[in-house]
A = this chain, B = another copy of it.
């Protein structure tokens, strides 16, 4: 199978990805990683990690973070392992591990699969999605990565609520139309939701939401200042988006955060 080795954070880490098939990580994964703001030795879990881009972005930026990459697909988990074995990633690979598991498993099966209760400081997720009105995905792997089941957020966020320590932080990136499903799934498990609406350029409808929430919080939901990816004048990133994409800036929570 053809594969590529892609540089992120201006070469500070690399990711091995299958070429031509599957979901390829990029800006979404980097924006997701920018939601994790921590100083000390934190434990971070990446749900649906794919080849590991978002989790590695956290590990490369936060020198004391340990990161668990959780991926259901055997193939993508194998790419995550390839990613960790790259010499370019040797600096932080000892702090990163891969767990082949289904994040929607429940109860004892979940714990047995390696997802223990109250164990982590951060969960990050970029849940797969698909939409009947989008162009048809050309292959089954991509279809699996993009398969948005009804209730997907419920299952993923339920597990995030289980594996996080009290006060732990959930961070996710999703499509705008998922806002109600996300808030409903947070329910009474999470509060203090902070939503950053992401627009591709001035005047354009949003294409993504960045959401953080705190386990057990009762703080009210906020809409943060929006994030603009590009200016009016072309394809270049705005300074803020470029900094986020390259690990030079975080989107720090306004309210309590898990640092």
- Please report the C-alpha to C-alpha distance between residue A209 and residue B221 in the assembled complex, in whole angstroms: 13
Give the copy number.
2
Q: Does A183 contact B (CB under 8 A)?
A: yes
Tell me the smallest distance from the CB of A204 to a CB of chain B, in Å: 6
With contact pairs A197-B197, A254-B205 given, residues A176 and B226 touching in the complex (Cβ less than 8 Å): no
Contact of A222 among B205, B220, B221, B222 (CB under 8 A): B205
Answer whether residue A141 sits at the interface, using C-beta atoms and an 8 A cutoff.
no
Contact A183 B176 (CB under 8 A): no
Contact status A221-B254, CB under 8 Å: no
Indicate whether A176 sits within 8 Å of B225 (C-beta atoms), given known contacts A205-B254, A254-B205: no
> How far, in angstroms, from A102 to B176 measured CA to CA in the complex?
34
A176–B184 CA distance with the chains assembled, in angstroms: 15
CA distance A176 to B194 in the complex (A): 11
Q: What B residues does A254 contact at CB under 8 A? A: 205
How many residues of chain A get a CB closer than 8 Å to chain B's CBs? Answer: 22
Tell me the A181-227 residues at the B interface (CB within 8 Å): 183-184, 197, 199, 202-206, 209, 220-226
Q: A155 CA to B182 CA in the complex, in Å?
A: 23
Alpha-carbon distance A221/B174, docked complex (angstroms): 13
**Complex contact A205–B224 (CB within 8 A):** yes
Residues of B within 8 A of A203 (CB): 225
Complex CA gap A183/B197 in Å reads: 17
Which residues of chain B are within 8 angstroms of A197 by Cβ–Cβ distance?
Answer: 197, 223, 226
In the complex, the chain B residue whose C-beta lies closest to that of A183 is B180
Q: Is the CB of A176 within 8 A of B221?
A: yes
Residues of A within 8 A of B (CB): 176-177, 179-180, 183-184, 197, 199, 202-206, 209, 220-226, 254
- The 14 listed contacts between A and B (C-beta, < 8 Å) are A176-B223, A177-B222, A179-B179, A179-B221, A180-B180, A180-B221, A197-B197, A199-B223, A202-B225, A204-B225, A205-B222, A205-B224, A205-B225, A209-B223
